Amino acid sequence: MRALILVGGYGTRLRPLTLSCPKPLVEFANKPMIIHQIEALKAAGCTDVVLAINYQPEVMRGFIEEWQEKLGVKIVCSQEKEPMGTAGPLALARDILDDGKGTPFFVLNSDVICDYPLRDMLDFHRARGAEATILVTKVDDPTKYGVVVMDEYGQVQRFVEKPKEFVGDKINAGIYVCSPSILNRIELRPTSIEREVFPHVAADNRLYAFTLNGYWMDVGQPKDYLKGLKLYLDSLSIRQSPLLGKGPGLTGNVLIDPTAKIGEGCLIGPDVSISAGCVIGNGVRLSHCVVMKGVHIKDHSKVDLSIVGWESRVGAWSRLENHCVLGEDVQCKDELYLNGAIVLPHKEIKESVPTPAIIL
């Protein structure tokens, strides 16, 4: 089987992290976001994965060289000369996605984190003879989203954008199974699969929706990224994963790379990931945060609800909270208070940031 991942654009919502690398390569739970998806695709029987890219192609090619052999999956790039939307990339990669035997393929948005029920979704798609199947997830407040209206068998009847009256509570989760016949509906131009293709498939009674029972999050911006980490760690806990850390000073769900060094008297958790090569000083308090590769947090600092980017330094007796995001290689002096600070890469912070601000 084949799959296409919509790597796409500039990742502006996740800046300053995406100023250093494309969004799919930003770490999530200690490995690039896109690796979670490729591993799930491999488990579902995919042997070939196409990355639809238009930003930093040389970086993505370096990623392929590093990871293709590790994952045991053939990964190729389909480079867009201009942004092609969510359907155009399928037309561009048509020769790869259509194996000539009618085999369905997967399409994924690169910033979706969930339980990836891909095998079940594929079985559902085949059993109904669908041309396309959309993964949908239930939300508490459907008025913020485009709602997928479907019957009891999962056949999609229509889409309603931000409904004012209740018509349903299922929204598009950004993962699809498509039969190759859908490619005949897509022109080689910038186009949206959700707005310009799926309504026509639904009109022909060949569009279905498969409901996701587990967690789901679009982690394309910092607040949602941190929510997504909590949901992901919760799922590891439910499965009793050995990846979660255990021991004194750890509370709740914590993911710590084996190469990280943790000082004495620390309190870490809940909902924390600490990546490779990190050094956490003595008496440090970490909660609801992400500490990326090579970060050094000095003694008696506190980091809560924040993301600390690669190779950054947090000084002693410092405090970061309220959705701070430090880009790559940010140097914070000792005894600083950062409240909601968004700091671009390679900056030195010498003074406290008492109110939320972007540090250019």
**Secondary structure (3-state) at 19:** helix
List residues bridging with 349 in a β-sheet.
Answer: 332
CATH annotation of 244-358: 2.160.10.10
pLDDT at 32: 87
Distance CA 276, CA 211 (A): 36
For 218: left if phi > 0, alpha if psi spans -120 to 50, otherwise beta; the answer is beta
pLDDT at 10: 65
2-218 against 244-358: fold identical: no
pLDDT at 220 exceeding the cut of 90: no
pLDDT at 59: 73
**Secondary structure (3-state) at 141:** coil
Q: Considering only residues 37 and 66, tell me which one the structure prediction assigns the higher pLDDT.
A: 37
pLDDT at 295: 95
**pLDDT-derived band of residue 56, with 50, 70 and 90 as boundaries?**
low
**pLDDT-derived band of residue 106, with 50, 70 and 90 as boundaries?**
very high
Query: Quick check: 60 and 53 in contact, CB under 8 A?
Result: yes
| Spans of all domains in the chain | 2-218, 244-358
Q: Considering only residues 21 and 330, tell me which one the structure prediction assigns the higher pLDDT.
A: 330
**pLDDT-derived band of residue 99, with 50, 70 and 90 as boundaries?**
confident
| Most confidently modeled range among 46-60, 69-83, 174-188, 288-302 | 288-302
Q: What integer is the mean pLDDT of 144-164?
A: 80
**pLDDT-derived band of residue 9, with 50, 70 and 90 as boundaries?**
low
Instruction: Count Cα neighbours of 94 within 13 Å in the Cβ-side half-sphere.
Output: 13
Burial class for 163, CB neighbours closer than 10 Å (0-12, 13-18, 19+): middle
CATH annotation of 2-218: 3.90.550.10
pLDDT at 196 exceeding the cut of 80: yes
The per-residue pLDDT for range 257-311, each reduced to its tens digit, is: 999 999 999 999 899 999 999 999 999 999 999 999 999 999 999 999 999 999 9
The per-residue pLDDT for range 224-262, each reduced to its tens digit, is: 889 999 999 999 998 888 888 888 899 999 999 999 999
Question: If you average pLDDT over every residue of the chain, what do you get?
Answer: 87
0.75 exceeded by pTM: yes
